[in-house]
Structure 1
Amino acid sequence: MTRFFNKQKEAQKWQGPICPKIRKKLLKIVEQANICYVLPAGKGVFQVEERGTKYIVDVVTKHCDCRRWDLTGIPCCHAIACIREDHLSEEDFLPHCYSINAFKAVYAENIIPCNDKANWEKMNGPQILPPVYEKKVGRPKKSRRKQPQEVQGRNGPKLTKHGVTIHCSYCHEANHNKKGCELRKKGIRPKNKIRRNVVEAT
C-alpha cells in the first residue's frame, strides 16, 4: 500500500517519455557506441565492428548477434550505432514497458487499507487452527533429496535400480539376493552352477 503511494509520487516528478533508470542505462550504452564502426547493407541491416569482432544488426526486426537487444529490449551499443547512422532516436526503439506512462499505469490503482479486526463481520464459522505438528523420529535432514542423475559414483552418475530384476549370486534364481537365499541358509548347494548376469525388466 505504501509502496504504491510512494511510486505514484515518484512518477509525478519525472519528465520525458522514458523512466530515469532506463535513460541512464541508455546514456552509458550510447557512450559505448562511439567505438563501433558501422557498414550499412541496406533494408535496415548493418554490419558493426567493435574491437575486432563483427556483428550483424537488423534494425527492422530489432535483432543483434550479441543478443543483448533480444534479451532486454534495450538497444545494445551496436544497435545504437546503427540507429544513429540512420539519424533516428534511440528512445523510439525502446519497448512500451520502459515508458513513464506504463510505469504510471502499473501503480495507478490504490490498495484500500483493511478495517480493524474488531470491525470484521462475524461469520459464525469453524475456528481455523494451525496444522498439528508431528515430531518425526531421528535427526532432521538438512540437504534436499537428490535426483538419481545427481548422485555421483566412481564412474559417473549412479543409475536407479527401479524396474530391474535382481538375481541371487548363490543359486542364480530371480527376485532375491544372496543374503536372503533359502538354499544358502539351509546349506544346500545349488544345481545350476552357471553364473547369470542381472537382466533388466522389460
Structure 2
Amino acid sequence: MTRHYTKQKEVGKEWLGHTCPKIRKKLNKNTEWASTCYAMPSGEGIFQVQDRDYQFIVDIKEKKCECRRWDLTGIPCAHAISCLRHERVAPESVLPECYSTTSYLLAYGQHIRPCRDKSTWDKVAATEILPPIYDKKVGRPPKSRKKQPHEFQGPQGPRLSKHGVTMHCRYCGDAGHNKKGCTLRKAGVLPPRQTSNAQPEEQAHPGGRQPEQMDDDGPIQSQVY
C-alpha cells in the first residue's frame, strides 16, 4: 500500500517530462556516444553509420540496428541517434510506450485500501485453515545449527573468533599483513627493531665476532658434538 502511494507521488513531484528518469538517463548517455558516429543515408530510412573503425546498418523505420541494442531494449543506440539527428527526429519520440510515465501510472494507479483490525472481522462458518502437514525428510536430521563464516570450532569446543581483529606481522611488527606476506622478509631486509637490537652488540664486538672465553691455561676451544 505504501509502495503504490510512493510511486504515484514520484511521478507528480520528482519526475519531469513524458519519459521515466532511468530511461532518460540511458538515452542521454547514448546521445553523448553518438558524437563519434557519422551517418550516411541510403534511402527509405536506411543508413550506414561509421563508428570509429566499425560500420553498422541502421533502419529507423523498422527500429533496427546491427549492434542489436535498439532491437533488444527499445532504447535507440548511439548509431540510431546519429541517424535520427540527420532526419531531425527527437530520440524520445521513438521510445516504446511502456517507458512513458503514463504507462507507469497505469501500473501503480490502483489503490490498495487499508485492512481493518482483526477484532472487527466477521466470523463465518467456514473450515478452519490449518498449516500444512509436516513431512519428515529423508536422512538423519541435523542436530547442530549451521555456523557462520566467522565462527570457528576449536579442539576444546567453541572459541572466540578473531573476526574483525587487525593482524600484525611477527617479522616487522606492522599491521595489515602476516609474516608470510611480509615484503621486508622476502627482500632479506632486517626489520627496524632487529637492527636496533643488533647495533649495541656490533659496537661492543667489532666485526661481529664474540670474544673468546679465557681460562687459566688459555682460551677455551669450542667442541662440536
Which band: TM-score by shorter chain? Answer: 0.5 to 0.7
CA RMSD between the two structures? 1.4
C-alpha separation in 2, matches of 1:74 and 1:131: 47
Amino acid paired to 2:49? V
Give 1:80 shift. 0.4
Number of residue pairs the alignment of both structures matches: 140
> Alpha-carbon deviations, 1:32-57, whole Å to 9, x = none?
00001111100100011212111110
Which aligned runs of 4 or more in structure 1 are off by greater than 6 angstroms? none
> Alpha-carbon deviations, 1:124-175, whole Å to 9, x = none?
11211112212234147xxxxxxxxxxxxxxxxxxxxxxxxxxxxxxxxxxx
Amino acid paired to 1:12? G
Amino acid paired to 2:58? V
C-alpha separation in 2, matches of 1:27 and 1:20: 10
SS for the counterpart of 2:89 is coil
Q: In the alignment, which residue of structure 1 is the partner of 2:136?
A: 135
SS for the counterpart of 2:7 is helix
Query: Structure 1 residues 124, 57: closer, same or farther in 2, change over 3 A?
Result: same
Give 1:15 shift. 2.1
Q: In the alignment, which residue of structure 2 is the partner of 1:97?
A: 98
Amino acid paired to 1:48? V
Could you tell me which runs of 5 or more consecutive residues in structure 1 were left unpaired when the two chains were aligned. Answer: 141-202
**Comparing both chains, which one has the higher relative contact order based on Cα–Cα distances under 8 Å and sequence gaps of 6 or more?**
1
C-alpha separation in 2, matches of 1:102 and 1:9: 15
Query: Structure 1 residues 136, 102: closer, same or farther in 2, change over 3 A?
Result: closer
**Structure of higher CA gyration radius:** 2
Q: In the alignment, which residue of structure 2 is the partner of 1:22?
A: 23
Could you tell me which runs of 5 or more consecutive residues in structure 2 were left unpaired when the two chains were aligned. Answer: 142-225
Pairing 1:79-158 to 2, within 5 Å after superposition: 79-139=80-140
> Alpha-carbon deviations, 1:59-90, whole Å to 9, x = none?
00101111111111100011001000111111
Q: In the alignment, which residue of structure 1 is the partner of 2:200?
A: none
Query: Structure 1 residues 132, 29: closer, same or farther in 2, change over 3 A?
Result: same
Query: Structure 1 residues 91, 137: closer, same or farther in 2, change over 3 A?
Result: closer
Q: In the alignment, which residue of structure 2 is the partner of 1:4?
A: 4
Structure-2-length-normalised TM-score: 0.59
Q: In the alignment, which residue of structure 1 is the partner of 2:55?
A: 54
Amino acid paired to 1:17? H
Which stretch has the larger CA shift, 93-102 or 130-139? Answer: 130-139
Structure-1-length-normalised TM-score: 0.66
Query: Structure 1 residues 137, 26: closer, same or farther in 2, change over 3 A?
Result: closer
Which stretch has the larger CA shift, 80-89 or 17-26? Answer: 17-26
Task: Answer yes or no: is 1:70 the counterpart of 2:71.
Answer: yes
Give 1:98 shift. 1.0
Give 1:115 shift. 1.5
Identity %: 54
